[in-house]
Amino acid sequence: MLRVRVVDLGLVSPVRSQSVYHAVGYAFRSGDPPTILLVSTTDPYVSIGFHQDAEREVDLEHCRAAGLPVIRREVGGGAVYLDHNQVFTQWIFPRDAVPVRLEDRFALYVQPLVETYRSLGIEAAWRPVNDIHVRGRKIGGTGAASLGESEVLVGSLMFDFNHQQMARVLKVSSEKMRDKVVQSLEEYVTTMRRELGTVPPRDEVVRRYLDACAAALGAQLVPGALTAEEEELAAQLDERFLSEEWLFQKGGLRQRGIKIHEDVRLVESAIKVPGGLIRVIVRVHGGRIDDLSLSGDFTLLPALGLAAIEQAVRGLAARRDELSRRIQDVYRALGVQSPGVTPDDFASAIVQAVQAA
């Protein structure tokens, strides 16, 4: 039977909550047992993906003022606000102990998380490739990386989540966009507290999770501790992860829009037209317009016409001809006048924003 070491570190510093699984990964050698780490952070912080540009993705000035460290990890994905309300579940396994195909690897890793939520009465399900959903709301995402001779999978058990702070740490183009981020997070992200009305005891949730891991892996789980080498590597990585050189390394990728979950993205865009500037904040859900906010420096009468346009295109796919026809219907019904701005201009602005999402 496969034997898996379990190391539950409880509460550690923000940087150690990231550095520790990297350290175990880099220290891993052939013949070492697979390891499951469980860890939470003592204090809030922001974690950014390996390929991201910190200055473009995160409001660094706010983070400094709020005392929030920003820590780059070696796993991909987006920027996220983290605090003690999550238990990070980190697998560091030999390559032959996990599926070769990444989607199958995520399926294996996610299974115990899903079973833990279900055992608590939460209707969780895997949303490929790497999300966990509860009736269309995200309750967790996962990530993967190859570190040294190991394969690493990371995710969390989501007890609670601060939507306001998550929206505040992101770098967005306007406060209106930030308000839309908060609204979208509240609508499309859920937690144990939201689903159950309370936060269950950590020890009980961890026990259920480890039972589910043993069943999914067909393994014997053995409590353990970090080795001296792992502790030393973690201390070295603490220094690297806290350095400005590491945080501001170049070559990061700009994430287009803000990913709420696998099916939902929020983006802001603008185009110049003869009658002024059209600004668009659009939320796309499953390829369709789920929410829309239009503004700009153009003139449009009657004023309620803009809200009517926003309402009329919700649920539509981002096809310019279809959007233009629907907006023309609004113009005719309300007698809309907008000098220098046509229904096709609005349609083009919306399509441009959706394509950027």
Q: How far apart are CA 25 and CA 231, in angstroms?
A: 12
Per-residue pLDDT of the chain (357 residues; tens, 9 = 90+): 899 999 999 999 999 999 999 999 999 998 999 999 999 999 999 999 888 889 888 999 999 999 999 999 988 888 999 999 999 999 999 999 999 988 899 999 999 999 999 999 999 999 998 899 999 999 998 999 999 999 999 999 999 999 999 999 999 888 999 999 999 999 999 999 999 999 999 999 999 999 999 999 999 999 999 999 999 999 999 999 999 999 998 645 555 688 898 889 999 989 999 988 899 999 999 889 999 999 988 889 998 999 999 999 999 999 999 999 999 999 999 999 999 999 999 999 999 998 876
Tell me if the pTM is above 0.85.
no
Domain ranges of the chain: 2-247, 263-356
Question: What b/e readout covers 87-111, taking b as 16+ CB neighbours within 10 angstroms?
Answer: bbbbbbbbeebbeeeeeebbbbbbb
Question: Residues 6 or more apart from 296 whose CB is under 8 A from it?
Answer: 270, 276, 277, 278, 279
Q: What is the fold of 2-247?
A: BirA Bifunctional Protein; domain 2 (3.30.930)
Kindly report the CA angle at 301 between 299 and 304, in degrees rounded to 5?
Answer: 115
Q: Which CATH architecture has domain 263-356?
A: 2-Layer Sandwich (3.30)
| CB < 8 Å & 24+ apart, contacts of 280-285 | 280/349, 280/350, 280/352, 280/353, 281/176, 281/177, 281/180, 281/353, 282/350, 282/353, 282/354, 282/357, 283/180, 283/184, 284/318, 284/354, 284/357
Q: How far apart are CA 250 and CA 54, in angstroms?
A: 9
